[in-house]
């Protein structure tokens, strides 16, 4: 290869295991248009398949693109490409192709530019390919737009699919490129063995944070199940939310079980703190959804207060437990939390925001400086259809989406009281105590500790730092 060589890989069927673009168009359709847009995409799928067979592959792809994005705000498409699609792209990445693609960046002392071509709209794929895979250029379908919205029509030269694909690639790159498969033939077995296996955290930019409501890759069958379940699930979610609001906490564990919500408790739930003890206990949880303090209360069979930051007004109104907002002023919040602890038990989530992947984010140290009785609680959830968290959407819908899962589940593990020698009263600093509790919870859940924070998450997913002034702010339990 000379210095101007370009290694070309196709996204569908070469870098990714599946050659179909439907799952990624379905993800975008659901994110920008909801379940009705996803239904439209499904209804047009048979027609698109017929067009691929009897007209051309490009014609069928154009129809699917139109159904998925016509009328969508371009900013929403870019947001979905940044926050939703990378996790699903990475999950389908082929190990052998990734090894070849990764090895093409620099070979024999010469630079080889890496190019990816795709039938998917470039606006959807470019962020993942450049930021997560290190591609130098992306050639994809270009969308037409009008006044900041996608028209759904594609711009010339059209969709990179079918028999004209090679001609279109040469139109962009000329003849100075080689196919990824041709590069692979030139690699020696020793070189192929020397490239590390691909894992999320091994990509140039690890996929730690992601957004979007759908849990599974929406293949046509999964998408159909989502559409059919959605009205049933929403009605069931409304019933579950109403039950959590109306029934007393000692009965909530049993009511949830009757409604298909599983609560699994490990360890010994501590008894309520007595006024004679001089104050309440501080329950310190990792943060999975907005409902963590509520399910903790259900496991304890009694309501306990929780500190929150920037939850929606709807969530405050529906909450069956007392929620107290934080001000983000450390001295003010410390005084407020001390007052709450004198009145009884309190729940906090020092990560400050939720994390879906098996990681525990860095803990704020404020909680460690407030109370003598610190009780770490490991929290785990297992959504099967919908995520009950969002960084970009309306957080008031988070509880509903969680309860829309057919069998939502929470696992609460009580780890006992923090040893006195690991408290600030024994001479440890607040940061030492916070880091110890973070490691304790991560070990109990078989998660990984990370130094990433709420700000890191919101910069990746929402383009802001998650502060109070931002449009999309953080979730319950932030500790400042």
H-assigned helices in 3-91: 22-54, 57-69, 74-83, 85-91
Q: Which residue has the tokens 């703190």?
A: 273
In angstroms, the CA 443 to CA 448 distance is: 8
Highest mean pLDDT range out of 109-118, 308-317, 416-425?
416-425
Percentage with pLDDT > 90 across the chain: 60
In angstroms, the CA 26 to CA 30 distance is: 6
Neighbouring-strand partners of residue 179: 8
Q: Is the confidence at residue 171, as pLDDT, over 90?
A: no
Of 285, 291, 6, whose CA–CA distance to 137 is shortest? Answer: 6
Q: What is the pLDDT of residue 376?
A: 96
Q: What is the pLDDT of residue 27?
A: 97
3-state DSSP helix/strand/coil percent for the chain, to nearest 5?
50, 15, 35
Please state at what angle helix 220-246 crosses helix 249-258, rounded to 10 degrees: 150
Mean pLDDT of the chain: 87
Q: Are 101 and 196 in contact (CB under 8 A)?
A: no
The three-state (H, E, C) secondary structure of 149-162, written as one string:
EEEEEECCCCCCCH
What pLDDT, in 10s, does the model give residues 41-82?
999 999 999 999 999 999 999 999 999 999 999 999 999 999
In angstroms, the CA 218 to CA 25 distance is: 9
Question: Domains in the chain, ordered, with CATH?
Answer: 6-202 (3.40.50), 229-461 (3.40.1130)
Q: Are 154 and 141 in contact (CB under 8 A)?
A: yes
> Which of 113-117, 166-170, 264-268, 272-276 is least confident?
272-276
The alpha carbons of the chain give a radius of gyration, in whole angstroms, of: 25
In angstroms, the CA 325 to CA 308 distance is: 5
Residue 264 is inside which H or E element, if any?
strand 262-266
φ, ψ for residue 231 (rounded to 5)? -65, -35
Q: Tokens for 141, please give them.
A: 């379908």
The three-state (H, E, C) secondary structure of 174-236, written as one string:
CCCEEEHHHHHHHCCHHHHHHCCCCCHHHCCCCCCCCCCCECCCCCHHHHHHHHHHHHHHHHH
Q: What is the pLDDT of residue 5?
A: 78
Neighbouring-strand partners of residue 265: 412
Q: Is the confidence at residue 277, as pLDDT, over 70?
A: no
> Which of 102-106, 268-272, 287-291 is least confident?
102-106
What pLDDT, in 10s, does the model give residues 214-232?
999 999 999 999 999 999 9
In angstroms, the CA 32 to CA 332 distance is: 40
For residues 401 and 160, the model is more confident at 401
Q: What is the pLDDT of residue 4?
A: 59
Percentage with pLDDT > 70 across the chain: 88
What pLDDT, in 10s, does the model give residues 144-167?
999 999 999 999 888 888 767 777
pTM for the structure as a whole = 0.89
φ, ψ for residue 23 (rounded to 5)? -60, -35
> Which of 31-35, 299-303, 367-371 is least confident?
367-371
Q: Are 284 and 437 in contact (CB under 8 A)?
A: yes
Q: What is the pLDDT of residue 472?
A: 37
């Amino acid at each position: 290869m000379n210095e101007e060589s370009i290694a070309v890989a196709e996204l569908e069927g070469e870098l990714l295991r599946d050659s179909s673009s439907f799952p990624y168009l379905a993800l975008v359709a659901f994110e920008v248009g909801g379940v009705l847009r996803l239904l439209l995409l499904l209804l047009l799928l048979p027609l698109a398949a017929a067009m691929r067979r009897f007209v051309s592959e490009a014609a069928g792809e154009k129809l699917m693109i139109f159904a998925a994005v016509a009328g969508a705000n371009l900013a929403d498409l870019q947001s979905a490409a940044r926050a939703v699609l990378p996790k699903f792209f990475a999950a389908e990445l082929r190990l052998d192709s990734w090894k070849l693609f990764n090895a093409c960046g620099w070979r024999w002392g010469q630079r080889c530019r890496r190019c990816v071509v795709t039938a998917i709209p470039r606006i959807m794929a470019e962020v993942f390919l450049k930021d997560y895979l290190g591609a130098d250029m992306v050639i994809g379908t270009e969308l037409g737009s009008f006044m900041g919205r996608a028209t759904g029509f594609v711009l010339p030269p059209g969709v990179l699919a079918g028999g004209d694909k090679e001609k279109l690639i040469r139109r962009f790159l000329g003849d100075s490129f080689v196919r990824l498969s041709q590069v692979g033939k030139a690699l020696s077995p020793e070189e192929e063995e020397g490239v590390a296996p691909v894992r999320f955290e091994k990509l140039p930019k690890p996929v730690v944070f992601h957004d979007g409501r759908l849990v599974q890759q929406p293949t046509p069958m999964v998408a159909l199940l989502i559409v059919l379940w959605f009205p049933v699930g929403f009605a069931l979610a409304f019933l579950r939310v109403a039950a959590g609001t109306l029934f007393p906490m000692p009965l909530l564990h049993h009511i949830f079980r009757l409604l298909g919500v599983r609560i699994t408790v490990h360890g010994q739930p501590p008894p309520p703190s007595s006024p004679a003890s001089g104050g309440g206990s501080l329950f310190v949880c990792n943060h999975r959804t907005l409902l963590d303090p509520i399910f903790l209360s259900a496991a304890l069979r009694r309501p306990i207060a929780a500190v929150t930051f920037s939850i929606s007004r709807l969530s405050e109104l529906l909450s069956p437990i007392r929620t107290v907002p934080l001000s983000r002023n450390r001295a003010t919040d410390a005084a407020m939390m001390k007052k709450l602890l004198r009145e009884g038990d309190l729940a906090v989530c020092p990560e400050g925001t939720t994390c879906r992947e098996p990681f525990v984010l860095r803990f704020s140290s404020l909680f460690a400086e407030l109370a003598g009785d610190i009780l770490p609680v490991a929290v785990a959830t297992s959504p099967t259809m919908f995520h009950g968290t969002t960084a970009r959407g309306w957080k008031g819908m988070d509880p509903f989406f969680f309860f829309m899962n057919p069998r939502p589940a929470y696992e609460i593990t009580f780890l006992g009281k923090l040893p006195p020698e690991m408290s600030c009263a024994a001479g440890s600093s607040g940061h030492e105590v916070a880091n110890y509790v973070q490691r304790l919870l991560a070990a109990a859940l078989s998660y990984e500790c990370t130094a990433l924070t709420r700000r890191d998450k919101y910069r990746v997913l929402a383009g802001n730092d998650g502060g109070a002034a931002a449009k999309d702010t953080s979730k319950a339990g932030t500790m400042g």
